[in-house]
């Protein structure tokens, strides 16, 4: 029992750190296209990377949120924003395909980390899936609100849908008897695969 809990916590931490870096860099690039100054770029890096987790933690009552309790998270995102600002020509030279793949990986990692943390806090399955989705896309929503745009995730694309699907697979795999580690892996792979297939095939949800 103890071992399983420890394992789940380790997954949460590792997934959080990797996803955080990817989303912080993307947030910084987005803020620079919006013409913000250095501070604005660093703030958007922070918000885009950690906003989803902060919203999840406020909702499940895990205050202070992890992103605030553990100083390494904000420092990591501020540094990511700073270095993206300084070396932006290098960062922007990254092939767009790489960024898409890394973003899909971040999405999968955050969705899994979010559903894991909600389970650790005793949240029921359906709400835990929502919390996984909020963790994965919440930062992007706050980023778009700060840039005064309708959040991209509400308009097009299989994006939040992929996060929700991944969270669903995590819970289904656990219900079927897989270990927490295996369930997290299968769920993350499901989210990543659905996102990449949707991008390459141009899948969209219907619009009014």
What residues make contact with a copy of itself under the rule CB under 8 A? 31-41, 43-44, 54, 58-61, 63-65, 68-69, 71, 74-75, 85, 88, 123-124, 126-127, 130-131, 141, 145-151, 153-157, 160-161, 204-208
Closer by beta carbon to a copy of itself, 2 or else 71: 71
User: CB 80 → a copy of itself: shortest distance, Å?
Assistant: 15
CB of 201 to a copy of itself, least distance (A): 16
Contacts of 36 (CB under 8 A, 6+ apart): 44
Q: Least distance in Å: CB of 160 to a copy of itself?
A: 6
Closest to 188 in 3D by CA, of 139, 143, 147, 136: 136
Distance (Å, whole) CA 80 – CA 70: 17
Q: Please say which residue, 3 or 207, places its beta carbon nearer to a copy of itself.
A: 207
Comparing CB distances to a copy of itself, the nearer of 91 and 113 is 91
Q: How far is CA 154 from the centre of its chain?
A: 16
| Nearer of residues 68 and 100 to a copy of itself, judged by Cβ | 68
Residue 64 or 181 with smaller CB distance to a copy of itself: 64
Query: What is the smallest separation between the CB atom of 197 and a copy of itself, expressed in angstroms?
Result: 17
Is 112:188 a contact under the CB 8 Å cutoff?
A: yes
Could you tell me the smallest distance in angstroms from the CB atom of residue 196 to a copy of itself?
Answer: 18
Q: How far apart are CA 138 and CA 140, in angstroms?
A: 5
Residues 104-137 as b or e (16 or more Cβ within 10 Å = b): bbbbbbbbbbbbbbbbbeebebeebbbbbbbbbb
């Amino acid at each position: 029992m103890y071992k399983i809990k420890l394992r789940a916590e380790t997954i949460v931490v590792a997934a959080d750190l990797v996803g955080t870096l990817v989303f912080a860099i993307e947030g910084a690039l987005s803020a620079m296209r919006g013409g913000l100054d250095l501070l604005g770029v660093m703030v958007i890096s922070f918000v885009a990377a950690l906003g989803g987790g902060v919203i999840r933690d406020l909702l499940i009552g895990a205050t202070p949120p992890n992103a605030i309790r553990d100083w390494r998270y904000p420092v990591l995102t501020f540094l990511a924003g700073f270095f993206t600002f300084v070396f932006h020509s290098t960062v922007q030279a990254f092939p767009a395909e790489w960024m898409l793949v890394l973003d899909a990986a971040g999405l999968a990692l955050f969705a899994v980390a979010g559903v894991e943390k909600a389970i650790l806090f005793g949240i029921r399955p359906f709400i835990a899936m929502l919390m996984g989705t909020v963790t994965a896309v919440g930062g992007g929503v706050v980023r778009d609100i700060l840039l005064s745009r309708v959040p991209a995730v509400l308009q097009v694309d299989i994006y939040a849908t992929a996060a929700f699907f991944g969270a669903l697979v995590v819970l289904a795999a656990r219900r079927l008897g897989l270990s927490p580690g295996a369930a997290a892996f299968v769920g993350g792979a499901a989210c990543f695969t659905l996102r990449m297939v949707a991008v390459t095939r141009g899948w969209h949800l219907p619009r009014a």
